[in-house]
Every structure is written in C-alpha cells, then in structure tokens.
Amino acid sequence: MLKLYARGAFPMADETGEINWYSPEIRTIIPLNNYNVPRSLRKFMEKSDFEYRYSTRQLEVIKSCADREETWISGELIEAYKNLINIGYLHSVEVYSKNKLIGGLYGITYGGAFFGESMFSRVPQASKAALVKLIERLNERGFKLLDVQYLTEHLAMFGAVEIPFVDFGTLLAESYLVEPSFI
C-alpha cells in the first residue's frame, strides 16, 4: 500500500467494496508555499472554541469520514488504514468543541509528502479549520507536498491547483528528499 502511495496512486472502493487504485493524469495539490486561508474563516477560527489535536483518534476520524450515504472508504480499506496507523504512516487532524470530536481529516505521510484522503464535519467550518491546521502543521514540520487528489470548490478556496501527473511526480521525488515527522 505504501509503495502505491509513494508512486502517486490512491485507493477508492466502489459500491461493491472492490478497491481500485488511481493515478489520474491531472492531480490537485495545495502548494504549501502559496496557499490561501479565507479571511472569514480565519476570523471564525480566532473566535471559535475549537481545539485541535493531531493523530490521537485516527480510526475514529476515518470512520467518521466513511459515515455517509455513499462512501469510497470500505471496511477493507479501514482495516488497511489500521495497519498504516500502527506503523506510523497515517495521521489525522482532529477538531474538538467541549472535548467532543466535531470534525477532522486524515491522510498518509511518506517522506515529505502528505496524501490527503478524506475529511468530515459535524458542525459548520470544522473540516475547513482542520485543513488550515493541517497546512500550518505541514509547514511547521518541513513537509514539501500536500496532495488533495481532485479539485473541489471547497479546496479551491485554499489555493488548490491542478497539475499534470508528470509535474506531480517531480514534486513527489523532491518531497522524498526530506523525512519530517508529523507528530
């Protein structure tokens, strides 16, 4: 699984539960040296009671991301993700309010790359706040690449850009020259 991530692929289960790996010709990243935090979100975060933790409840974050009507996160993928947690490659950003998990995201780290997988929000702004904290954490720790797979309106607000897979491969290679720690 790590070798496939390292080559720029990512898994998704279809409606039958079969896991397929994807390496689209166009990939989406949020440049860690050129991202955007919407002003209204920054103001909201300054006033909110949100608290943030890192990689304390990864499995709960994964299951929360999967807890929707349609999901690509199958039971088999959750089992595989448990293994990545156990060997230190799967990390999460968790958002709490009054000590209750209300949002978060998770992804896989390999070298200086963070492969974002999914996010969830039980209250408005929680997943967006988690993404801001992820970007800050990756910059603080010396990561070089934040892969978010596909461009969405949500990610575009943060400066996400599409790039050809060949350029993505170059960024992957550069990110593997460093070994930052997420925790």
When pLDDT is averaged across residues 11-35 and rounded to a whole number, the result is 94
Residue 17 is predicted with a pLDDT of 86
Count other C-beta atoms under 10 Å from residue 120's C-beta: 22
Domain 2-175 coded CATH 3.40.630.70? yes
Going from the C-alpha of 36 to that of each of 25, 30, 103, 155, 173, the distances in angstroms are 25, 9, 20, 10, 25
User: Lowest-confidence range among 27-36, 70-79, 85-94?
Assistant: 70-79
What is the band of 140 on the pLDDT scale with cuts at 50, 70, 90?
very high
Residue 83 is predicted with a pLDDT of 96
What is the band of 170 on the pLDDT scale with cuts at 50, 70, 90?
very high
Distance CA 83, CA 86 (A): 5
Domain coordinates of the chain in residue numbers? 2-175
**Dihedral (CA of 132, 42, 123, 156) sign:** negative
Percent of the residues in the chain that have a pLDDT greater than 90, as a whole number: 95
Residue 16 is predicted with a pLDDT of 87
When pLDDT is averaged across residues 169-182 and rounded to a whole number, the result is 96
When pLDDT is averaged across residues 88-105 and rounded to a whole number, the result is 98
